[in-house]
Amino acid sequence: MEVAGEVLHSGSSQELHVLAVDDSYVDRKVIEKLLKTSSCKVTAVESGARALQFLGLDGGKGSLGFNGLKVNLIMTDYSMPGMTGYELLKKIKRSSAFREIPVVIMSSENILTRIDSCLEEGAEEFLVKPVKLSDVKRLTKDCVTRGETEGRDGRRVNKRKLEDDNHSSSSSTSSSPSTTASFGCGLATSELLSSPLHSSKRAKLRDRD
């Protein structure tokens, strides 16, 4: 894992840090390569439990994970022993600290009810495996674009219904002074990269044959 602040992409774009979760070693290796090719930093773990541990959601370190690098996107396999990707998704979306992080579900099975449940629970997208480079490039580009757009507006769009949120202003869930400082510059986009990608979900379903 890389040290915070060590890598900054040239120009205005900043490297996204993606947390990939998959129990298959082969798939982990492939997704890691896809993400690195798309100029992302990657942390690949083998289970939902590990993912929660990394995020600090199991009561551990807190939102910065082991190495102080914030997670901007989570990509998880659906079918995993122990905790499924769906269960992981729910846990993340029910956490005030991490609900803003976009979660993408990957699955080898194109089951409509499964897709629906995931989208209902707040998944940004449901990708059918095998995942392609074009999928990853698009996803990560959306992530960055969204972050930059909201950077200019100076506000974050909270997609989860505000009516049932009591914590709105007090939770600076994805912003943390130490995080921005550790990137070595005052880039406001760092905190905003964790904002939801877009609201049209069904349209993003990609089919595989």
What residues line the site for another protein (CB under 8 A)? 24-27, 29-30, 33-34, 36-37, 79, 108, 129-130, 132-133
Q: How far is the CB of 208 from another protein (least distance, A)?
A: 9
CB of 17 to another protein, least distance (A): 18
Nearer to another protein, 96 or 108 (CB): 108
Nearer to another protein, 12 or 108 (CB): 108
Q: What are the two backbone dihedrals, phi and then psi, of residue 143, each rounded to the nearest 5 degrees?
A: -60, -50
Count the residues in the chain.
209
Kindly tell me which of 78 and 183 has the beta carbon lying closer to another protein. 78
Which distant-in-sequence residues (6+ apart) come within 8 Å of 60 by Cβ?
Answer: 53
Q: What are phi and psi of 29, to 5 degrees?
A: -65, -40
Q: Residues 58, 83, 111, 37: is their CA dihedral positive or negative?
A: positive
Report the residue number, 135 or 191, with the smaller CB distance to another protein. 135
Integer angstrom CA distances of residue 49 from 45, 64, 100, 124: 9, 16, 19, 21
The token pair that represents 110 in the structure block: 């194109």
Least separation in angstroms between residue 141's CB and another protein is: 18
Residue 80 corresponds to which tokens in the numbers above?
A: 């995993």
Provide the minimum distance between the beta carbon of 137 and another protein in the complex, in angstroms, as a whole number: 12
Nearer to another protein, 26 or 203 (CB): 26
Name 7's Cβ contacts closer than 8 Å, sequence gap at least 6. Answer: 15, 41
Shortest Cβ 76–another protein spacing (Å): 14
